[in-house]
Amino acid sequence: AGAPGFGAAGHGCCGRDPPAGGASRRAPARTRALSLAARGDRVCECACTRARAAAASAARRRESPAYSQRRLRRGEAGVAAPRGFAASAAEVNEARLDEPEVASAPLGADADDSSDASAEARSGDAADESAVLSQDGGEAGGDAPARRAPLVVEVPGVVVVTDPSHAREVAAVLRARAGDVHAIDTEVHGIDVRHDSPRLSGELVCFSVYVRAGAGDGESDGEGEGGSGGDPLCVWVDTDPARPGGRATLEAFRGYLADPCVHKVWHNYGFDRHVFEGAGCALAGFAGDTMHMARMHDSGRAGVRKAGEGAAADAADAGVVRGYSLESLSSDPGIVGRRFAEARSKTSMKALFQRPKLKKDGTPGKVMIMPTVRELQTGEDTRAAWVGYSALDAEATWHLYDALRTRLREKRLEADDGNDVSGREAARMSGCDTMWELYERYWLRFGEILTDMEAEGMKVDVAYLAAQQERAEGEREAALRTFREWVEAQCPGGRYMNASSVKQIQTLLFGGYVNADRAAKYEPELRALRSEVEKARHARSLADATRDGEEVVEACEAALAAAETALVKKESAARQKTEIEREREFPTSKATQNAEEDAPKKVMLRRISEGVLTPEVLTASGLPSVATPVLRQLAGTPEAPGPLHAGFGGGARGDAACAAFR
């Protein structure tokens, strides 16, 4: 009893009182041995032979390949694995090579005793390890701050990894499938991608992996279900550093992430690489970036919105923004196939998790709020949906890679008609026949170099940059002032227009423009509407002609009231004008300020150009484009004025119009 590490009461080996009924309940052998080793104590050799032997039997069960298979199938704490997933004994044994040696107790227990202890050890293994090991693998307890334990969720088709021991097993199985393509996606807390860089901001709270055999092997069915099948495996890993074991769980995947033999594909590789490296994990085995591949496949997607003008073929695509986000690409039937686009495409976080803000009385309001990533991951009501959302990102990336690789293999550098001079020259210089060969030989390595450049950064002269910003803002204000003065001269009240409004600029330059193609398309429908309009007008004329005397009186009274209102407005405008003239003795800035405050609420804009000015470029919806490059082309240069010069009559008036739009 006086030996180091031995208790003074209860059992002589552990110092615990036996539970009611006389049955001996003890922690799993592996957990107990780690705890004793951390304190520098020796394993007891007292008379509790039956309990020690039962725990040892449980430890042997956990070391067996069959138990490892069952554990890897269900994940930690009973999480279901995807259908068809099976880890071989060799894979599990390879996973066990990374685990530390564990001291076990002597043998000699009865079979019926070992069965109870084995069941207890299996059920309490994860909880006991969390109690013994702290976040960095050391002993917990004492004054250590309380940390959140991971919630247990079951997501069909996803292996959820939350503890280091399970992570080592899964990482070994992933490395054993180095011949397949691995799609990886990350989720980050504490970053605003519009303003922050992943090199300096954010915490990696989880990542997901989707593995499947046969990516891009030419066996795709054209409906987003490419590949030869294999055994798809989807893994979601909780690496939140704010919970116990989060960093240790990520550490277990360090070898897998840095293995150059495992081919990994990403969507926006630069972001994910910086996130992993910020968490202390180097990456290797870069095999593709679906964002780069999508741009090579179609370089005109960004910012284009499909019109969806009622055609049956485009009805499903109406309103889709054809950009390069994972959501947009995985929802495009022209890339991933209609089956995957409709059934498994990525859904935005706002659509899934945005919720109304509660009022003081507890009822939902109109303002919508978005919980933080960590709140979604740790919330009891959002954890399962969050795991599914994160895992789907990796799955969508894999299918997108599979589809784009197949399409790039089918697309030749040179057009088939033989007239593509630039394509023929590019093919000759590169030595490639297809777009996929060009990507594999040049773009793939270039994508890695781009992230190297981002990681290295570049020196910026902050003082010079601030001076240039101030200068640019001054030039912008001067140009805006010139434009407003010119519009005011052409259209009274025009200085109050919104110079950034596309619709208002279109009205000034091309008001009344009719797209002949669109007009011809809708002419039958308009013709049918005209007859209905004529009938309505005729009915209204009859109603006006048959109004009785009372209605006429009411109409006269309304006209009189309108005239009185107009008189009051004119008197008010006259008083304001007198006040402005009286304030001429004040500084010009104050008079201008007061005049702007008294600006009319509405200004009627009209076309100020002559009919000879026609649109140079049309938007996707068929309206005149007034984008910045188009306006520059219309304005031209002082040496070579553009079409605006003739559109405003030439001479000094045309020069002023071109100068205003420059």
Q: Mind listing the pLDDT tens digit for each residue in 54-106? A: 555 555 555 554 455 455 545 444 444 433 333 433 343 344 334 333 333 33
Per the domain annotation, does 535 fall within a domain? Answer: no
Residue 648 inside a domain? The answer is: yes
Percent of the chain with pLDDT over 70: 62
Q: Which of 49-63, 231-245, 316-330, 353-367 has the lowest mean pLDDT?
A: 49-63
Please, are residues 226 and 215 in contact by the beta-carbon 8 Å criterion? yes
Rounded to an integer, the average pLDDT of 225-229 is 41
Same structural domain, 627 and 653: yes
Strands of the 203-213 sheet, one edge to the other: 159-161, 229-238, 203-213, 181-189, 264-266, 286-289
Q: What is the CATH number of the domain that holds 290?
A: 3.30.420.10
Q: How far apart are CA 282 and CA 268, in angstroms?
A: 17
Question: What integer pLDDT is reported at residue 65 of this predicted model?
Answer: 46
Q: In degrees rounded to 5, what are phi and psi of residue 269?
A: -60, -35
Owning domain of residue 432: 411-458
Which of 204-218, 287-301, 497-511 shows the highest mean pLDDT? 287-301
d(CA 244, CA 520) in angstroms, rounded, equals 68
CB crowding 558-589: b at 16 or more within 10 Å, else e: eeeeeeeeeeeeeeeeeeeeeeeeeeeeeeee
Same domain? 43 vs 70: yes
Q: What pLDDT was estimated at residue 52?
A: 55
DSSP 3-state of 509: helix
Cα 138 to Cα 12, 243, 652: the distances in Å are: 26, 14, 82
Taking residue 631's Cβ as centre, other Cβ atoms within 10 Å add up to 17
Average pLDDT, the chain: 71
- Comparing 13-27, 494-508, 601-615, the range with the smallest average pLDDT is 13-27
Number of domains in the chain: 4
| Res 1: pLDDT | 37
The answer to whether residues 61 and 127 touch, using CB atoms and an 8 Å cutoff, is no
Residue 242 lies in a domain: yes
Statement to judge: residues 616 and 484 lie in one domain = yes
> How many whole angstroms separate alpha carbon 366 and alpha carbon 358?
9
Tell me: pLDDT of 523 over 80: no
**Do 364 and 439 share a domain, yes or no?**
no
Tell me, what's the pLDDT at 47?
A: 39
Residue type, 395: E
- pLDDT (0 to 100) of residue 402: 94
Task: Give the domain-ending residue among 114, 132, 150.
Answer: 132
pLDDT top residue among 568 and 78: 568
Q: Are residues 352 and 421 in the same domain?
A: no
Domain assignment of residue 268, yes or no: yes
pLDDT at 152: 64
- Higher pLDDT: 315 or 221? It is 221
Length of the chain as a residue count: 662
Lowest mean pLDDT among 183-197, 272-286, 405-419, 461-475: 405-419
Together in a domain, 263 and 177: yes
- Lowest average pLDDT, out of 28-37, 163-172, 229-238, 297-306, goes to 28-37
Same domain, yes or no: 95 and 231 = no
Higher pLDDT: 566 or 449? It is 449
Same domain, 431 and 503: no
**What pLDDT, in 10s, does the model give residues 390-439?**
999 999 999 999 999 999 999 888 766 666 667 777 778 888 889 999 99
* 367 and 425, same domain (yes or no): no
Give a yes or no: residue 293 inside a domain: yes
**Structure-model confidence comparison of residues 496 and 275, the more confident one:** 275
Q: Is residue 584 part of a domain?
A: no
Choice among 45-59, 373-387, 410-424, 632-646 with the minimum mean pLDDT: 45-59
What's the CA dihedral at 96, 99, 102, 104 to 10 degrees?
Answer: -20
Among 107-121, 185-199, 334-348, whose mean pLDDT is lowest? 107-121
Q: What is the DSSP string of 186-253?
A: EEEES--TTT--TTTS-EEEEEEEEEEETTTSS---SSS--S-EEEEEEEEEE--TTSTTHHHHHHTT
Assign 3-state DSSP to the chain and report helix, strand, coil percentages, each to 5. 50, 10, 40
Same domain, 424 and 506: no
Of 377, 410, 443, which residue constitutes the final position of a domain?
Answer: 410
In this structure, are residues 423 and 196 in contact, taking their beta carbons and an 8 Å threshold? Answer: no
pLDDT bin (cut points 50, 70, 90) of residue 294 is: very high
Q: Considering only residues 64 and 116, tell me which one the structure prediction assigns the higher pLDDT.
A: 64
The answer to whether residues 431 and 357 belong to one domain is no
Most confident of 179-188, 372-381, 577-586: 179-188
Answer with the one of 402, 425, 458 that is the final residue of a domain: 458
* Global model pTM greater than 0.75: no
Greatest alpha-carbon pair distance for the chain in Å reads 117
DSSP letter at 640? S
Other beta carbons within 10 angstroms of residue 280's beta carbon come to 11
Task: Determine the pLDDT at residue 423.
Answer: 72
